[in-house]
Amino acid sequence: MVMRMNVTIKDVAKRANVAPSTVSRVIADSPRISKETKERVWKAMEELGYYPNAIARSLASKVTNTLGLIMPRSTEEAFSNPFFPEVMRGISVVAHREKYDLLLSTSGNKEEEKEAVIRMVKGKRVDGIILLSSRTTDELIPWLRDEKFPFVVIGKPLDARGVYWVDNDNIGASKLATNYLIKHGHREIAFISGSLEYVVSLDRLDGYKLALEENGLTFKRELVEQEEFSEDGGYRAMMKILERAKPTGVVVTDDVMAFGVIRATIDKGFRVPEDISIVGFNNIPLSAFANPPLTTIDISTFELGIKSAELLIARLKQKEIESDHIIVPVKLIERKSCVSR
Amino acid sequence: MVMRMNVTIKDVAKRANVAPSTVSRVIADSPRISKETKERVWKAMEELGYYPNAIARSLASKVTNTLGLIMPRSTEEAFSNPFFPEVMRGISVVAHREKYDLLLSTSGNKEEEKEAVIRMVKGKRVDGIILLSSRTTDELIPWLRDEKFPFVVIGKPLDARGVYWVDNDNIGASKLATNYLIKHGHREIAFISGSLEYVVSLDRLDGYKLALEENGLTFKRELVEQEEFSEDGGYRAMMKILERAKPTGVVVTDDVMAFGVIRATIDKGFRVPEDISIVGFNNIPLSAFANPPLTTIDISTFELGIKSAELLIARLKQKEIESDHIIVPVKLIERKSCVSR
DNA sequence: CTGAAAGCGCTAACAT
DNA sequence: ATGTTAGCGCTTTCAG
C-alpha cells in the first residue's frame, strides 16, 4: 500500500540538491537561475511528479490568476438569456489567452450578489472582477471603487467616475433603430425596454427620444413601456401598449423580449411586419430564425466580453491604458421584421 | 492618509482578548466555545471589518468550497451551443444552494483541457470536478479515477467502472426518435450525429439501429453521417447524405445541427416537413421558433446540470449515495417538422 | 472551554 | 547564481 504524500517544493529541492527558493525560482522561470540547475530541478520535478499548489502560491504571492465574474441577479436567470453566454464566450477567450481562470459567483438576489463579491474580494480569491451588467441602484460599484479593487463593468454605470467600463453607445444605437423606422415612413413608434433601473434602458430611451425630436415627431408616453427581460415581459408590454395606442413600429431593446412583442402583436390580430414593424436589440442567434426573421441592432456581444476582459487584465498588469472605457460599435442587421409605410 | 493593513485573525484575537485559535473556532461556529466569547469575538470582527481569507483557509484546511467545471474542447465553442449554458444553469442553482462557487477552466484543445484539470486538481483549487461531456478517447477519466479525485461526468463514459455519471438513456432516446418517424410511415430514415468519439453518438446510433431492427427495417450505411456539432456540421452531413440517398425522415442528435440539416434540405430543393421530416435533440429554446418549429427530444438539460452537481456534492459530503449514476428522463416534443407518409 | 505552537506549501526579501 | 529566513492567514493537534 502506497501512502503517497503530496510532493512539495521541499522534496524537489532535496532531490535536486538545491534550496526551496531555487525551486520556486525555477517554477517562475527566473532568468537568474543557471541553465544547469534549472534542468536539474525540472528533472527532479518530473521524477517526483511535482505540481505547484496554486493555493499556497496565491497565499504567498497574493496573486490568483483568476478573474471573478459577477452575474446579474440570479446566476440561474442569467444563463437563460443568450446574451450572457455570449459575453462569457468573449471573456473566456481572453482569459484563456492570458492564462486566467474564471471564478463564477453563484448568487440568487441582490444581497447574495453583494455577499458573493465580498467573498471574492475580501476572500482574496480573485485578482479582478468583471461585473456583467450594472443597475443604477448598484451599490457594488462604489464599494469596489472604495476598496480600490480592480474591476470593470460591462455597461456604463450611472456614476462612471473612477470606474473602468465597456459598453456600446446606447444612445446612438437606439437612435439608429428609431431612425431606421422613421426613414421607413413610421410616425407612431413604440419603445419597449427593460426596467429603468438599468442605465442601458435609460440611455436607449434617451436615444429614442432624441431620434423623435430630431425628426420633428412628438414623444408620447402611451407608446412607451418597461417590463422584465423575458419573452413574457415583451408580451405584456406590447399588450399594454396595444390597448391604448396604435403604433406602426416598435423598438424593443432586447431580442428575447421582441419575440414576446411579436406574439402579442399577432394575438391582437395584427401582422408582423405588414401592420407593425419591429426592431430588436442584441442579434441573438435565435433572431435570425424567428418568424419573421428579426431586424435587430447587433451590439457585438462577443466583443463586449473580449474588451472587458482585456481592459481588466491590462489594468492588472499595470499596462498603459488609453482610456478608462471602451465603446464597442453596433450595427443594424436588416432582416424581415420591418417594412416601409 | 489611511494605511489600511489587512485585518487578520490575529487582530481580531487581540481585540477580543483571545487566542487566534479561538477566533478560528468562532468562525467555524464550534460548539466548544462559550456563548460569551463568541459574542465578544463577533463584535471584534464586526468592528474591525474582518473577513476570512479564503485562500489561507483553503491552504490550512484543504477545502475550497469550489467546484471545477471542465468544458469540452474550447470553452469558446462550448458557449456557442445553448446546451452548455443550460447545463451550467442547473449546476449553478445547486452550487448556490450548497454554497459552492464555480471555477471555470478555459482551455482551447485536448492538451489544454488536460492541463486545466491538472491545474485544478494538483493545484488544489477545487474540491471536485464536473466534466461536461466525455469522449471515448478521454484520458481524463482514468486519470481522475487514479488520482482518487472526486468527479462526476455528464454523459456516460465508455468505461464507467468506478466513475460517477449522469446522463439520459441515450439508446432509448434515440429509439424514441426513430420509432416516432417509423410510426409515421417513414422507411428511409437518415441518422446524423456528432463524432463517434463521443459515447453519446455511439449510443444514439445504437438506438437508431435497434429501432430499425425491431421494425424489420434494414440499416443502410449511406443514410448515416457524422459531423461536428454545429449548424454547418449539420448542413454538410445532410448534403452528403442527399447526394447518395433519398431519406424521407432524419434523426439529428443535436438541434443546432438540425438547423443546418433543414438548410441543406431546402438548398437541395426539398421541403420540410412535406418532403423530409426531421427530429432533433436537446430542445434548445431556438427550436420552438425555427421554421418549421422543430420536433425534438427534450433531454432535460437543466436537470442534467442539477443532478450532476447534486451527485458530486453528495460525494464530497460523504453522504450515502444510492447509485453511482443517475438517469435523467427524456421526452419527445412534437412540433411541426414531421409529417406522416 | 481556551491557549500555544506547529504547520499547510509557497514566495520574497535579504544575504552571500 | 543560490541559500536563509521569515512570513502569507488560517486550522489543528496537543495541552491544560
- In order of start, what are the domains of chain B with their CATH numbers? 1-49 (1.10.260.40), 66-167+302-328 (3.40.50.2300), 170-300 (3.40.50.2300)
Within an 8 Å CB–CB cutoff, is residue A92 touching chain B? yes
Nearest of B241, B236, B260 to residue B190 by alpha carbon = B241
The predicted structure's pLDDT at residue A2: 43
For residue A1, what pLDDT band results from cuts at 50, 70 and 90?
Answer: very low
CB–CB of B75 and A89 under 8 A? yes
Within an 8 Å CB–CB cutoff, is residue A290 touching chain B? yes
Phi, psi (degrees; rounded to nearest 5) at B280: -100, -170
Element (H, E) at B272: none
Of B336 and A109, more confident: B336
Peptide bond into A82 cis (omega under 30): no
A138 pLDDT exceeds 70? yes
Kindly list the averaged pLDDT for each block of 10 residues, start to end, along chain B of length 341. Answer: 69 92 92 89 92 94 94 72 88 93 84 86 94 75 90 91 94 98 97 92 96 97 94 96 97 94 95 97 86 94 96 91 94 96 89
The predicted structure's pLDDT at residue B237: 98
Nearest-angstrom CA–CA distance, B210 and B202: 12
Q: Is A241 in a helix, a strand, or coil?
A: helix
Average pLDDT over residues A260-274: 95
Owner of C-alpha cell 418532403: B275
The predicted structure's pLDDT at residue A213: 97
Nearest-angstrom CA–CA distance, A102 and A74: 18
The residue type at A26: V
3-state SS, B149-191, equals CCEEEECCCCCCCCCEEEECCHHHHHHHHHHHHHHCCCCCEEE
Within 13 Å, how many C-alpha atoms sit on residue B145's CB side?
A: 14
The predicted structure's pLDDT at residue B42: 93
The predicted structure's pLDDT at residue B1: 37
CB B18 within 7 Å, strand C: yes
Nearest of B293, B257, B255 to residue B86 by alpha carbon = B255
Within an 8 Å CB–CB cutoff, is residue A61 touching chain B? no
The predicted structure's pLDDT at residue B52: 93
The predicted structure's pLDDT at residue A189: 98
Which of A7, A71, A76, A79 to probe by mutation at the B interface, max B CB count within 10 Å?
Answer: A79
- Residue among A86, A286, A290 whose CB faces B79 most closely: A86
Of A288 and B166, more confident: B166
Of B81 and A247, more confident: A247
